Structure 1
């Protein structure tokens, strides 16, 4: 190739509408390529390119003029030096069969006799960026390069397919959703690379040029959507957190862009979806860095994967949009970046599985230890109380132990429990105290507002008793009408007196709303007695009842401690 020159024909110039070299203006100016690949950013212009060839050999030679960029809409070749100029009109806006050779790049057969010369003219128009890497190669070079690239691409796409199938199998076996999203991501990424490399046009839809063009932005939008779905399921940011909101919003944006891809022109959608892809990768890096700082260790390899991917995507996009030359080199680098990312992502999933497995084993071990400790503790307790519980269970099957109005223990329960507490007190030498409590002037409450409102006061008194008899063995009892009792084992008279004084104070200061909208309160009187050595329950009750009677006669709303002997206060 001895000389390459080009001309940019903007829409308002005659060269723009020219459909053959013979229609070009004679005074049209040409610019030299100066030995560089021709690279042009996205434009509406038509590009005319001339390649002047000369065979300096003494033998006839056969070559291919190769244009190594598959994503050009319309490419027309003209060869001079024939009696009738040879023409080939092709591009990815044409059926794949319009190409002279079944190959993903554009190959124009060129035959030059000894010391022969030839001028090849190209007319190129495309809705995207224009990369025009031209080279003159022999058939052996084409075959050698094709064999090398076939092996490279076969390994690349084969590895993606195998990993995608492997992740699908993991999904069906474990029902873990991020395996499915990983397979979805690798599949869409492979389809995008397949379409960008010209293979989809060659093998999937050779006779449907419109579908071949639409497949690129569609697969790019699907790739962004798959990235987000995988990231959200893998990173486990938690519902309604800011990383989850960002990923969810981008999922909706990607879905919208996918729909717009079928509506808007190719030039708009390819740029739009490329920007979306770069934005998604950048956001996923930020989210993964945030998760890593929160202590989520698998995010370390996830960050490394997206850094690798971002570098490859940016360089590949710059080459695809015509900002940097040598698209072939950037394609190979993009495949390397994708391979590195896929390896790192799969390693991140392995680390995540390892972390979950370690957590599961730790939880299982901790649960086993706690269970053994609790079983040992409860077994020891049950051995000491089994006989008493069996007796209590037999009684519970027959008797109702609670007062239905207040929820306190009833008289039957007290009559059953008190002998047991007395026997335990005598055996251990521990104190046992009983307090009898009676509401003051309760008949006035019932006469004034009715028995229903009286029940409200009884429930209020019961709540106060529960509040102050909180120990497991303390018992608050309603044993008739407005009469209550407290059984306080392991409590001496001083402690019981303090409890009763607090109860009287609480009840006196608790106001209840009356049916007529006013508020009123009530007082109670109490008498307490501590069990004497070998004293019967009957005598204990008599002394407590005498103390209660004394509190009533002393003006009510007070506590009286019973003497150690039964006194006749009548």
Structure 2
């Protein structure tokens, strides 16, 4: 299920020794070129042939110490150089093969002893198959070297798939023999897969079984994945479909995973097993069901999702089979053997790649051999399950007939005796049915009433949200009065207890003032929303009607206003709000700040300063005598950006230890991004909150604002 793309084959090592020339002898069938290569990484991907052949870059080539250089998933372009010499007295023909079939781009160049390029060609799956030099599933570059001559060959590799440089020089005769043997092998493999698919398709149609259907989808997808990895699908099935060739593997991995899990749930009847096991399979299938969406993602992202998911799916399916086998479910025997066979093939491949076991025809093809054996054993498992079900059905039928015979014999003697009792029971059941029907009707009516109430309440809250949104000042109105700014506003519920307020006072016109505040009311949701409306109206009254503009005086008046409106002196009500408020005087280049339990953070000349608010709330205290708010004055003759925020962001639980984000971390984050454009700062803060929160619920309303003054 795509494991071939999820396992790193080998770590690649390099040496700084000078490159030697490899002498080719026609008596040799093939040469593994890995340890004869010199490699130059091009992280920017901008180097051309004329660059890499220059003396500057020639000194940067390093010799390979691996027969199979493997750099994994990387965006780096790799240039490869090798010197090949014909030791014969006549021209010879060799085939250079790259053994990794799904590399995206391969550029090939031949240079003579004087450094002149005498031939070039292109290969890779990003080009239509018809453009290849040799009609073969992997990239083949024929080379003809004159007698007693040395040529230098350059390759440029670029791919979003795994960067594997598996170069081999083949004697044409040996290559033809190898190609024929491979054709026989893959023909046999494809024959097995097609036979299994057709046989089980017939059985699925006959039995109308979803288990067989999902099994067919899994086997078909896995077979196509093998053909795609080996380049056979590109050669024979879709030679002109370059986009599909380069994107089908992640899609088929998740589709095969979805089908295999669905097959397992039906085949092993996991719904009758442990609940955690069945739920785990459901979760995995929800993730695998994203196989359609994954086609929209770039290959380098989709393969990093699908390949680990394939490994997780494989492990969970094996655990499921073992659990059901230990529970005594007989059909699980062949299921477990099939998956162990597949895993054994994977282990052999890993051992071969690490050089622990020899490389030969069997170890080179453990993946298709293991998958074919797995498919056969799963078919045997299906047949065994069908046999078990047939036996159980026959045994149940015989047992039913035996019981029926005994019952009939007893009924012959007791029919008269039971008739009256049955009649009484029937009457009692009818009465119970009538009572149940009555209760059902009552419950249905209650259900309808509750649903209507829910719809009405939700509609009312949603309408309240529209009112609250209309109450908030438009951010464009705020922004056009400053150099730049942002407002990050994320209510926890439909309506919010946090809100922000803005006023521009142009009387007198030569000395306009702007007042900006962020307010965190007690509670959130509907209660917080009511408090925000009260706070908004009080601010309008204090600033516009009573013409009070100093932040400290506005906070004092807000405190008295909340106590008055909520009658806190009489009722003992403790609701209130925390506030940060600034008055900005552009003509004097002054900013005045007061805070009720909320701070102001400003940055000038790359220095961050925190001004804490007074430890006094607005409202919420039963006694208000002897209290007043301090006012701080800040000059913004130099470029200044200031921030005000409620406590919702810093109080969010999350992270690896499920702790609060905390105010220190928020201030550090703001300072690290304060030189970015304000919209970008907002996006970074939003993403950081989402990442910290992860799957947890938002604990409070969130309001963070930033204003650039100069």
Q: Same fold (TM over 0.5)?
A: yes
Inter-partner Cα distance in structure 2 for 1:49 and 1:191: 31
- SS of the equivalent of 2:75 reads coil
Could you give the per-residue CA deviations for residues 64-86 of structure 1, whole angstroms, max 9, x where no partner exists? 11111111111111112297520
User: Does residue 207 of structure 1 match 2:256?
Assistant: no
How far is the alpha carbon of 1:289 from its aligned partner?
1.5
Could you give the per-residue CA deviations for residues 183-229 of structure 1, whole angstroms, max 9, x where no partner exists? 11111111111111111222232223221101111111111111111
How far is the alpha carbon of 1:35 from its aligned partner?
6.5
Inter-partner Cα distance in structure 1 for 2:60 and 2:117: 26
Inter-partner Cα distance in structure 1 for 2:406 and 2:188: 57
- SS of the equivalent of 1:238 reads helix
Kindly indicate which of the two structures has a greater share of residues assigned to helix.
Answer: 1
Match among 169, 183, 192 for residue 159 of structure 1: 192
Inter-partner Cα distance in structure 2 for 1:99 and 1:178: 42
Could you give the per-residue CA deviations for residues 85-116 of structure 1, whole angstroms, max 9, x where no partner exists? 20001211122123211111111111122212
Aligned to 1:270: 303
Contact 2:40 / 2:60 at 8 angstroms: preserved in 1? Answer: no
How far is the alpha carbon of 1:380 from its aligned partner?
4.4
Inter-partner Cα distance in structure 1 for 2:156 and 2:363: 25
Match among 63, 67, 71 for residue 98 of structure 2: 67
Aligned to 2:280: 246
Inter-partner Cα distance in structure 1 for 2:133 and 2:107: 12
Inter-partner Cα distance in structure 2 for 1:194 and 1:317: 20
Aligned to 2:381: 348
Match among 366, 371, 392 for residue 333 of structure 1: 366
User: Does residue 127 of structure 1 match 2:160?
Assistant: yes
- SS of the equivalent of 1:32 reads strand
Residues 1:127 and 1:318: Cα distance change in structure 2 (over 3 Å) = farther
Inter-partner Cα distance in structure 2 for 1:368 and 1:87: 81
- SS of the equivalent of 2:164 reads strand
Aligned to 2:55: 26
Inter-partner Cα distance in structure 2 for 1:266 and 1:69: 17
Aligned to 1:234: 267
User: Does residue 219 of structure 1 match 2:252?
Assistant: yes
How far is the alpha carbon of 1:178 from its aligned partner?
0.9
Match among 85, 88, 109 for residue 54 of structure 1: 85
Aligned to 2:137: 104
How far is the alpha carbon of 1:23 from its aligned partner?
4.7
Within a 5 Å distance, the mapping from 1:292-307 to structure 2 comes to 292-307=325-340
Match among 34, 41, 65 for residue 9 of structure 1: 41
Inter-partner Cα distance in structure 2 for 1:269 and 1:253: 13
Inter-partner Cα distance in structure 2 for 1:105 and 1:320: 20
Inter-partner Cα distance in structure 2 for 1:55 and 1:335: 37
- SS of the equivalent of 2:296 reads coil
Aligned to 1:196: 229
Inter-partner Cα distance in structure 1 for 2:101 and 2:352: 13
Aligned to 2:638: none
How far is the alpha carbon of 1:63 from its aligned partner?
1.4
Residues 1:244 and 1:176: Cα distance change in structure 2 (over 3 Å) = same
Contact 2:346 / 2:366 at 8 angstroms: preserved in 1? Answer: no
How far is the alpha carbon of 1:232 from its aligned partner?
0.9
Q: Which moved more, 1:140-149 or 1:19-28?
A: 19-28
How far is the alpha carbon of 1:381 from its aligned partner?
4.8
How far is the alpha carbon of 1:374 from its aligned partner?
2.1
* Unaligned runs of at least 5 residues, structure 2: 1-21, 24-32, 431-710
User: Does residue 373 of structure 1 match 2:388?
Assistant: no
Contact 1:260 / 1:269 at 8 angstroms: preserved in 2? Answer: no
Aligned to 1:179: 212
Within a 5 Å distance, the mapping from 1:498-517 to structure 2 comes to none
Inter-partner Cα distance in structure 1 for 2:234 and 2:352: 20
Could you give the per-residue CA deviations for residues 393-431 of structure 1, whole angstroms, max 9, x where no partner exists? xxxxxxx99xx99x9xxxxxxxxxxxxxxxxxxxxxxxx
- SS of the equivalent of 2:271 reads coil
Inter-partner Cα distance in structure 2 for 1:191 and 1:314: 22
Inter-partner Cα distance in structure 2 for 1:63 and 1:273: 38
- SS of the equivalent of 1:114 reads coil
Inter-partner Cα distance in structure 2 for 1:341 and 1:138: 35
Contact 2:41 / 2:78 at 8 angstroms: preserved in 1? Answer: yes
How far is the alpha carbon of 1:118 from its aligned partner?
1.4
Residues 1:358 and 1:197: Cα distance change in structure 2 (over 3 Å) = same
Contact 2:196 / 2:376 at 8 angstroms: preserved in 1? Answer: no
Residues 1:59 and 1:68: Cα distance change in structure 2 (over 3 Å) = same
Please report the TM-score for the alignment, with normalisation by the length of structure 1. Answer: 0.62
**Aligned residue-pair number:** 389
Inter-partner Cα distance in structure 1 for 2:66 and 2:187: 32
Q: Which moved more, 1:25-34 or 1:95-104?
A: 25-34
How far is the alpha carbon of 1:145 from its aligned partner?
0.9
Could you give the per-residue CA deviations for residues 378-397 of structure 1, whole angstroms, max 9, x where no partner exists? 33456xx69x99xx9xxxxx
Aligned to 2:697: none
Aligned to 1:289: 322
- SS of the equivalent of 1:36 reads coil
How far is the alpha carbon of 1:62 from its aligned partner?
1.3
Could you give the per-residue CA deviations for residues 334-382 of structure 1, whole angstroms, max 9, x where no partner exists? 0111012112211211221121122111111111111222222333456
Aligned to 2:149: 116
How far is the alpha carbon of 1:283 from its aligned partner?
0.7
How far is the alpha carbon of 1:313 from its aligned partner?
4.7
* Unaligned runs of at least 5 residues, structure 1: 393-399, 408-570
